[in-house]
Structure 1
Amino acid sequence: MVEFSKNNGVGFLTLNRPPANSYNRDFIEAFGRGIDQAANDPEVRVVVVRSALERFFSGGADVKAFAENPPDVNMAMVRRAHEVFNSLAQIPKIFIAEIAGHALGGGLEIALACDLRFAAQGEYRLGLPEVTLGLLPGTGGTQRLPRLIGWGKALELMISGQTLTPEEAHRLGFVERLYPDRDTLAQETLRFAEALARGAGLAIAHIKRAVYEGLDRPLEDALRLERELVEALFYSEDGREGVQAFLEKRPPNFKGR
């Protein structure tokens, strides 16, 4: 259901549960194992989350399973999904969602849990339509979407169940990059990921931590965290190498320490 692979410093988590990558507890557990593999592999510095299916990134939670299960079983899956999705923010590697098909409900929530979202133009939709089932986006959507695009527009989308085209999602800002087709998306996402993997991994990890932790703190506390993290970089081998390489007008050789 979720395959981990790697190449040239980039890890790939490929979702593959036909017909729509709809997820149940087993899928969530498989996704969690894939995340752990990527997180614990020292050769992997950037991770791309993508789909093996042509029409779907992920259609979200398996509604048929929701209907068949009692509420306590459904809630056990929701709690586990929270643990798995939340782990992405704690891992000092960049996760990129590569979207070229429908990303709906929990499927979009997977993408929202990633650090960045790159998409291809196409005839598919993105959104959080759980309200049409009498539910709410329960695996992070009510919290992550407002943090990306502001609470007013996010609230409007969630209470209406409206879905968006990739172009609309890009204009609103929860898709960071939009490419003309699936092939270009894959090529450019790989190009971006490989460049990050060759870059200042320690600085990237510190930037990610500063952003995620800082957003939940008062400004002065967040600025204190920023000072602590940049001080650590001044003392790091990468920090010294980056400054020296600039002075010597040569490419830096970052080692992640």
Structure 2
Amino acid sequence: MFRSLIRPAATRLPLAYLAPARGLEDEAYLKPIPTHSGVSTLVLNRPQAKNAISMKLLDQLADCLEVASFDKNLRAVILSSSTAGAFCAGADLIERRSMTETQVNKFLADLRAALHKLENLPVPTIAAIDGPALGGGLELCLACDLRIAGHGVTKIGLPEVKLGIIPGAGGTQRATRLIGLSRAKDLIFTGRMLTAQQALEWGLVDYVSEEDQSAVERALELAGEISVNAPLALRSAKKAVSRALELPLEPGLDFERATYDSLLKTQDRLEALQAFKEKRKPVFKGE
């Protein structure tokens, strides 16, 4: 079932590689990056709807995350759009109008589960925001480890109160943990839109691309810096850092030490020591 969700690697970079193959209609798919070993993009592909989250897109997104979670060769994932100038406009409100109450409840439960899976992928994740990230679109970004906004992006926000609801896919919780209580209240109560630079100043994104650079291009640079490191160490580091806000300091330190100890006898650790001795770059195998 999952095989069709993995697209063959493309041969052109940077933006052309995101274009879907002709005749395929996946609304979300994984695509390895040939120039970056261990890096894949998780591509949103509903250009006609600005990647609004439909039931089909959500189902395929969840399947892609399932595939990624078991890929031992994966070192980083970039969440991106197949179309320049777009990221994700949030939930598909046109589809929502025709959904029954049961379907809405299932959609919200499935969306929560998918974002939980995204947040807990064992490898670092980067959201490449090359267009508006609104509502559920921004909530997807908040479930990633790092966020990069394209230089010219002008619409990043959680406008749900303008539609008579509140952020319902983790926005009230993840935004508060990321940018603090007061700024989260400001963002959500007003439903304001932030530019890329404002989002950087607020701490909502971690990087803004250069003026002549897309968010995907900047994300590839960052993924390149990440993916050269020891795969098991990356996974363990993510696990330890992610527990930091959940645990008091002393239990957190205990968890960190246990995670650290588990790496000491790995082949990658021994390779790193040998490479240091020989003054060369280590060759990591994730073992």
TM-score range, shorter chain: over 0.9
* Bigger Cα displacement from structure 2, 102-111 vs 25-34: 25-34
1:5 aligns with 2:5: no
Of 39, 44, 49 in structure 1, the residue corresponding to residue 79 of structure 2 is: 49
One-letter code of the match for 2:181?
W
Tell me, in whole angstroms, the C-alpha distance in 2 between the residues paired with 1:173 and 1:31: 26
1:248 aligns with 2:278: yes
Which one has a larger percent helix, Structure 1 or Structure 2?
Answer: 1
RMSD: 1.7
TM-score, scaled to structure 1: 0.93
Kindly report which structure 2 residues correspond to 1:31-180, keeping only aligned pairs within 5 A, or say none. 31-180=61-210
Aligned length in residues? 257
Q: CA offset at residue 135 of structure 1?
A: 0.6
> CA contact under 8 A between 1:5 and 1:12: conserved in structure 2?
yes
Cα 1:196–1:218 shift into 2, 3 Å: same
> CA contact under 8 A between 1:214 and 1:221: conserved in structure 2?
no
User: Where does residue 254 of structure 2 map in the other structure?
Assistant: 224
Structure 1 segments unaligned to the other structure (5+ residues):
none
Q: CA offset at residue 182 of structure 1?
A: 6.4
Q: CA offset at residue 184 of structure 1?
A: 4.5
Of 225, 234, 258 in structure 2, the residue corresponding to residue 204 of structure 1 is: 234
Give a deviation string over 1:17-74, Cα, whole Å, max 9, x none. 1231111222110111122222333332211111012332000001223333233321
What secondary structure, in the 3-state scheme, does the structure 2 residue paired with 1:91 have?
coil
Q: CA offset at residue 5 of structure 1?
A: 1.2
One-letter code of the match for 1:172?
W
Tell me, in whole angstroms, the C-alpha distance in 2 between the residues paired with 1:210 and 1:155: 28
What secondary structure, in the 3-state scheme, does the structure 2 residue paired with 1:11 have?
strand
What secondary structure, in the 3-state scheme, does the structure 2 residue paired with 1:98 have?
strand
Tell me, in whole angstroms, the C-alpha distance in 1 between the residues paired with 2:151 and 2:59: 30
TM-score, scaled to structure 2: 0.84
> CA contact under 8 A between 1:214 and 1:225: conserved in structure 2?
no
**Runs of 4+ off more than 6 Å:** none
One-letter code of the match for 1:116?
L
What secondary structure, in the 3-state scheme, does the structure 2 residue paired with 1:56 have?
coil
Q: CA offset at residue 222 of structure 1?
A: 1.0
Q: CA offset at residue 157 of structure 1?
A: 0.7
What secondary structure, in the 3-state scheme, does the structure 1 residue paired with 2:49 have?
coil
